[in-house]
């Protein structure tokens, strides 16, 4: 039987191990749309050229349209599908083409991997927003520049870091207009 002090020490060591791995840029999860896991375990650009073109098109259309809904509308009108590689199931790792959704596009535009950067610590728990009995609630997103770990030029990039920062600013400006 372990004492609570031993459990607390073990938990602290595990968390510190995760933090050290993240600071090296080695704490990787499933790669997002347009990226695949390479033989060395690192994320790399999807080898399918059409998948890469669709990702670049999304960023180009966002710069033209200026709003997320404009990108979604453009993709739907032009019948452009998103390249998805499932992480589970019978088709795991196989390229599938799915209809675009607002949440998928939002995640894509906010993810710094497209600018070649690795981030960790971008989700913090706000105790004021947490609901009792629901441990996954209260999460807030932190801008990439304010993350606990941010390593630029860690992955192959689809866009430049400066372009990514401009897109984040534009998304933030759109959000403040909608909130007003």
For residues 91 and 75, the model is more confident at 75
Q: How confident is the model at residue 180 (pLDDT cuts 50, 70, 90)?
A: very low
Q: Give the residue-averaged pLDDT of 160-169.
A: 93
Task: Report the distance separating Cα 124 and Cα 146, nearest Å.
Answer: 11
Q: What is the pTM of this model?
A: 0.80
Residue 2: the pLDDT is: 65
CB atoms within 10 A of CB 141: 10
Mean pLDDT of all residues in the chain? 88
Residues 6+ apart with CB under 8 A from 88: none
For residues 128 and 53, the model is more confident at 53
């Amino acid at each position: 039987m372990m004492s609570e002090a031993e459990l607390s020490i073990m938990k602290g060591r595990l968390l510190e191990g995760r933090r050290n791995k993240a600071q090296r840029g080695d704490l990787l999860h499933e790669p997002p749309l347009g990226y695949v896991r390479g033989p060395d375990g690192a994320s790399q650009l999807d080898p399918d050229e059409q998948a890469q073109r669709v990702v670049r098109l999304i960023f180009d259309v966002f710069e033209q349209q200026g709003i997320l809904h404009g990108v979604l509308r453009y993709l739907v009108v032009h019948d452009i599908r998103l390249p998805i590689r499932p992480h589970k199931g019978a088709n795991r790792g196989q390229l599938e083409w799915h209809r675009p959704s607002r949440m998928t596009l939002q995640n894509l535009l906010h993810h710094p991997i497209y600018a070649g950067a690795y981030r960790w610590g971008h989700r913090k728990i706000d105790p004021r927003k947490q609901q009792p009995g629901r441990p996954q609630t209260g999460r807030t997103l932190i801008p990439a520049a304010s993350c606990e770990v941010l390593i630029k030029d860690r992955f192959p990039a689809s866009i430049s870091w400066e372009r990514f920062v401009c897109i984040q600013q534009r998304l933030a400006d759109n959000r403040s207009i909608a909130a007003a």
